[in-house]
A and B are shown apart, each in its own frame.
Chain A
Amino acid sequence: MNLRAIYTCVLVVPLGLLAAPAPQKSDPALQPAQRGNSQAQVQAGERVFAANCSRCHQAPMSLSPRITGTVIMHMRTRARLSREDEKLLLNFLAP
């Protein structure tokens, strides 16, 4: 196999990944309760958010859903949160 063939293979794999369709997500139009997030869970997430963010800094006024998972993983490590708290925060911030 010559270098050109190897290079083609190395390039085709990531191009395939880029061209692949995005995975199906659940309908964002659905209310949290319709997707299994009860109002109580969302309120619990709000309490976790209010209690833990202010321990160190002013809470942000908004957070884009596309980065929420990354930010909450970072905050879970920094603030030593449990997995349950992480889930409640995600359901509150990106329902």
Chain B
Amino acid sequence: MPHRTSLERLMPWSNTLQMPSLRQWTPYAHTALVWVFACMRLFAQATATEENHAGHVPIISGGAGYVHNVAGGAPVLEPQVDPVLLVAFGSHVLLESRTDFTGVFARENLTSGPFKGKVFTDVEYAQLDWLADTHAIVVGGRYLLPFGLFNERLGPLWIRNLQDPPFTASIGTRTTGAGDGLMLRGVAAQTPEMNLQYSAYFSVRSDVEQLGSARAAGGDASVFFPRLRFEIGGSGQAFLQDHHINNGAAYVSWQPLEASLDVKGEYDASYYGRGYWLEAAYKLDHASSHAAIQKAQFVGRIEQVFPQHGGGNGLPHVDSTRFDAGLNYYLKDNLRLVSSYGRNFNSQQNLNAWNAGITYRFTIPLWFGEER
């Protein structure tokens, strides 16, 4: 009998090109399935304390939606699903990952012909968080680059008030919006009046498909005044591959207690250009006694960008100004209709940009647990 390697003993089909039959897979699949359920049971148990009844059941959360865009008369259909997997290992370690599936379908000749397109898949983040102590959270893996307000906080389609990102969203987030490496983040100091929050990271270059990132180092710091609900912060990044450049951002965010108003603004600067955006969203919670009217939200945004050194790298090539006005309607707290109209002005062409759609935020527990 010929000598068999340990690999061949464990997987007798490994020396052939044929996949194992269902019969060969069955014992392995059963064992794996039992282990998965046992681990999920363990995670679900690492939960309630004497202080509260919070459970740590694994979940799949995220957003889904469909947006119909028309830019310069050319329609683009964008269905999108962004599932987020959250698995807690006890109360100090969390595995979290978000994958983006976005379909982009456009007419063959932009304004005429049949719709053609494809679905793009992107692992936006896949990270392990160690909630070390009250001041520090250690993040390893693939994470969203903490630069400005948009990339890390306002990216999901169910969060953003306007579906189109600002012109300057590419500053500080090249090449994919994510970094592969380590990040330290948390609260440096906290009093009842203010929180000083920080993030610092280093990312290595990766050309692996789905996991691409650039060599970069950077950080973000902000001061949040919880009683005023006002935040002011800044971000910096050294882009350390190919043409080395520095990027910077300063931002403010304000949600006054007296009204359902959300005001955000950001200034970004890079070697390739600089620009700003200012956005306000007002939900009619307190403006009317009619429940149907209270669910409406008006949004407005103005933004300008001034390219330098030819622009590009995600920025326009010529000075551009854009105004957007939107109307969102919350059918439920996790389901809303979105719509907006924007006009883009620049020296090459002015164009209208419309969109309308629906967004949904879902949360699916992956194990049983106490319901109250």
Contacts and interface: CB of A to CB of B under 8 A. Distances in A.
A80 B197 contact: yes
A60 B363 CA distance: 11
A26 B354 CA distance: 54
B91 A81 contact: no
B231 A70 contact: no
Interface residues on A, range: 35 or more
Contacts of B159: 56-57
Contacts of A26: 48, 50, 53
Interface of B is mostly: mixed
A18 B34 contact: yes
16 contacts: A7-B31, A14-B39, A28-B372, A54-B229, A54-B262, A55-B224, A57-B158, A58-B333, A65-B55, A69-B56, A70-B56, A77-B94, A77-B129, A78-B153, A80-B186, A83-B134
Given A18-B41, A48-B226, A66-B368, 11 more contacts: A15-B38, A22-B45, A66-B44, A69-B91, A77-B94, A77-B137, A80-B197, A82-B186, A84-B190, A90-B51, A90-B52
Contacts of A94: 52-55
Given A65-B371, A77-B185, A82-B135, A14 B34 contact: yes
Contacts of B111: none
Contacts of A91: 51-52
Interface of B: 27, 30-31, 34-35, 37-39, 41-42, 44-45, 47-48, 50-59, 61, 84, 86-88, 91, 94, 96, 129, 131, 133-135, 137, 139, 152-154, 158-159, 185-187, 190, 195, 197-199, 224, 226-227, 229, 231, 253, 255, 262, 283, 330, 332-334, 361, 363, 365, 367-372
Interface of A: 7, 10-11, 13-15, 17-18, 22-23, 25-26, 28, 35-37, 47-48, 51-52, 54-61, 64-74, 76-78, 80-87, 90-91, 93-95
Contacts of B153: 55-56, 78
A35 B154 CA distance: 37
A37 B52 CA distance: 8
A95 B53 contact: yes
B53 A70 contact: no
Contacts of A14: 34-35, 37-39
Contact of A25 (B38, B48, B186, B332): B48
Nearest to B188: A80
A56 B154 contact: yes
A74 B94 contact: yes
A43 to B, nearest CB: 13
B198 to A, nearest CB: 7
Contacts of B224: 55
B143 to A, nearest CB: 9
Contacts of B255: 54-55
Contacts of A70: 55-59, 86-88, 94
B55 A66 contact: yes
Q: Give the 8 A-B residue pairs with the shortest CB-CB distance, closest first.
A: A66-B369, A14-B38, A66-B55, A69-B54, A83-B134, A94-B54, A69-B56, A80-B197
